[in-house]
């Protein structure tokens, strides 16, 4: 039996999953002890790096296809946001490591 969903039902399902992911992510991150923040940030940077690669691939497909200008624009936006996330993550991680290294020298 094949069930066909309307666009509205798919949108509601996607928004529901997104909101649940926000709540779950907040609960998980708020329970992380401070000593694990640097490894957690490294993992987040790796995931954002995967998002950068995915956005590059999607933008290439959208631009080669030529019939998907909206997909190309969304891919560029995803690429910019993921790149900002990766750079910011590395800056925060570097700052945290400098703070830890500074304590050891004193």
Splitting the chain (106 residues) into consecutive groups of 10 residues, what average pLDDT does each group show?
Answer: 80 89 84 72 78 83 74 84 86 80 63
Is residue 87 a part of any domain in this protein?
Answer: yes
Q: How far apart are CA 6 and CA 74, in angstroms?
A: 23
Is residue 5 a part of any domain in this protein?
Answer: no
Quick one: pLDDT at residue 61? 77
Domain, as residue range, for 57: 34-105
Is residue 18 a part of any domain in this protein?
Answer: no
The structure's pTM equals: 0.57
Is residue 65 a part of any domain in this protein?
Answer: yes
Is residue 96 a part of any domain in this protein?
Answer: yes
Is residue 81 a part of any domain in this protein?
Answer: yes
Degrees (nearest 5) of the Cα angle 30, 36, 39? 115
User: How many distinct structural domains can be found in the chain?
Assistant: 1
Is residue 25 a part of any domain in this protein?
Answer: no
């Amino acid at each position: 039996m094949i069930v066909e969903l309307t666009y509205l039902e798919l949108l509601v399902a996607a928004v529901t999953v997104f909101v649940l992911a926000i709540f779950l992510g907040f609960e998980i991150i708020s329970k992380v002890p401070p000593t694990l923040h640097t490894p957690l940030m490294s993992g987040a940077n790796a995931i954002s790096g995967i998002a950068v690669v995915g956005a590059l691939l999607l933008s290439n497909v959208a631009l080669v296809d030529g019939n998907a200008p909206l997909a190309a624009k969304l891919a560029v936006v995803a690429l910019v946001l993921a790149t900002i996330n990766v750079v910011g993550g590395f800056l925060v991680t570097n700052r945290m490591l400098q703070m830890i290294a500074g304590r050891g020298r004193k």
